[in-house]
């Protein structure tokens, strides 16, 4: 019997490559089927990669470079997401800290979670009109709800044994909250930030398609569709995916792992 290769680097590499291979093969199959059945040229993975290379080399897309579209989308997302994260964390901490505030405001994030991000389009347009304000509003309101909800529930569900141990050591209420409850709730806070990031990134692209102002990855996708430049549209989708993976796997996954190692009872202290 062949023994399973246990090298951790090889296992991680395989775990990254196998899903990519499945996606590429499925993409190629769909392209062949659509081209055969409908007679419509569907961009293959190779065609899309070639177009992405052209765009990265400086070929303009809807009047701007791909770098400008990407930077514009990142700035829009970062500004709105930072505001949503700050408001969500403050909301969750405040509701967990004061019971009367929780009783009045705690249902708000839950109600917002029930509303799809694109449903805010008419509200955003009515308040801000077509432009940056509407896009950032949709990003912020979509990211706020999961962050606020995760923060509140993370603090409220801290292990009671930790709280009692701190109280037995004479920890005052203020120190108990900021030195025990908040650190113990960090994994939940990071999970809320990850969910908020995914939601807000998706809404950013959709908002740029509807209320965009001439730049951004979402705007480029919808404009490429009108000009039948589908390879460029798929190249932009590929860029969106790569950026999302960079934030998800490179930033938040690393922060979450280190937080779990630092603050959980089963983790390894750094």
| Mean pLDDT along residues 82-93 | 91
Asked whether residue 167 carries a pLDDT value surpassing 80, the answer given is no
CA 266 from centroid of its chain's CA atoms = 28
Q: What is the mean pLDDT of residues 104-126?
A: 88
Q: What are phi and psi of 110, to 5 degrees?
A: -65, -40
Residues 61, 225, 206: CA angle, nearest 5 degrees: 90
Closest CA to 93 of 171, 164, 192, 169: 192
**Per-residue CA distances from 109 to 133, 144, 151, 193, 197 (Å):** 21, 8, 11, 14, 16
**Does pLDDT of 14 surpass 80?**
no
* Alpha carbon distance 135, 252 (integer Å): 24
The pLDDT confidence band at residue 2, using thresholds 50, 70 and 90, is very low
* The pLDDT of residue 249: 72
Q: Which residue has the higher pLDDT, 224 or 158?
A: 224
How much is the average pLDDT of 28-49?
A: 86
Percentage of the chain lying above the pLDDT 70 cut: 83
Q: What is the mean pLDDT of residues 169-174?
A: 69
Look at the alpha carbons of 12, 13, 18, 21 in this order and tell me if their dihedral is positive or negative. Answer: positive
Straight-line distance from the first to the last Cα atom of the chain, in angstroms, rounded to the nearest whole number: 39
Residues sharing a CB contact under 8 Å with residue 72, sequence separation 6 or more, in sequence order: 215, 216
Residue range(s) occupied by CATH 1.10.3720.10 in the chain: 44-263
For the domain spanning 44-263, the CATH number is 1.10.3720.10
Q: Are 270 and 260 in contact (CB under 8 A)?
A: no
CA distance to 8, 166, 168, per residue, from 161 (Å): 36, 9, 10
Question: Does residue 122 register a pLDDT over 60?
Answer: yes
Are the C-beta atoms of residues 197 and 81 closer than 8 Å to each other? Answer: yes
Across the strands, what pairs with 61?
64
Residue labelled with tokens 């480029």? 220
The span from the CA of 155 to the CA of 162, in Å, is 12
Query: Considering only 104-118, 165-179, 190-204, which range has the smallest mean pLDDT?
Result: 165-179
Helices 186-211 and 230-245 cross at an angle (nearest 10°) of 160
At 208-229, the pLDDT tens digits run 888 767 788 888 888 888 888 8
> What's the pTM value of the predicted model, to 2 decimals?
0.78
Give the integer Cα–Cα distance in Å for 268 and 76. Answer: 37
């Amino acid at each position: 019997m062949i023994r399973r290769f246990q090298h951790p680097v090889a296992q991680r590499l395989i775990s990254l490559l196998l899903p990519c291979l499945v996606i590429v093969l499925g993409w190629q199959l769909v392209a062949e089927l659509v081209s055969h059945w409908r007679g419509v040229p569907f961009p293959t993975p190779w065609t899309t990669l070639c177009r992405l290379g052209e765009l990265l080399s400086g070929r303009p897309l809807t009047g701007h470079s791909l770098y400008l579209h990407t930077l514009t989308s990142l700035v829009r997302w970062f500004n709105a997401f930072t505001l949503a994260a700050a408001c969500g964390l403050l909301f969750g901490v405040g509701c967990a800290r004061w019971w009367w505030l929780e009783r009045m405001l705690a249902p708000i994030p839950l109600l917002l979670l029930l509303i799809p991000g694109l449903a805010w389009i008419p509200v955003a347009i009515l308040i801000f009109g077509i432009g940056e304000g509407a896009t950032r509003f949709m990003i912020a309101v979509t990211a706020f709800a999961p962050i606020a909800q995760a923060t509140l529930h993370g603090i409220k569900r801290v292990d009671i044994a930790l709280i009692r141990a701190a109280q037995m050591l004479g920890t005052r209420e203020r120190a108990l909250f900021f030195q025990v409850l908040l650190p113990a709730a960090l994994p939940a806070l990071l999970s809320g930030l990850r969910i908020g990031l995914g939601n807000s990134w998706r809404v950013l692209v959709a908002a740029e398609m509807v209320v965009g102002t001439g730049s951004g990855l979402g705007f480029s996708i919808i404009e490429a569709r009108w000009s039948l430049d589908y390879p460029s549209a798929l190249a932009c989708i590929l860029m969106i995916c790569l950026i999302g993976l960079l934030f998800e796997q490179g930033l938040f996954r690393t922060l979450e792992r280190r937080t779990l190692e630092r603050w959980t009872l089963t983790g390894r202290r750094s």
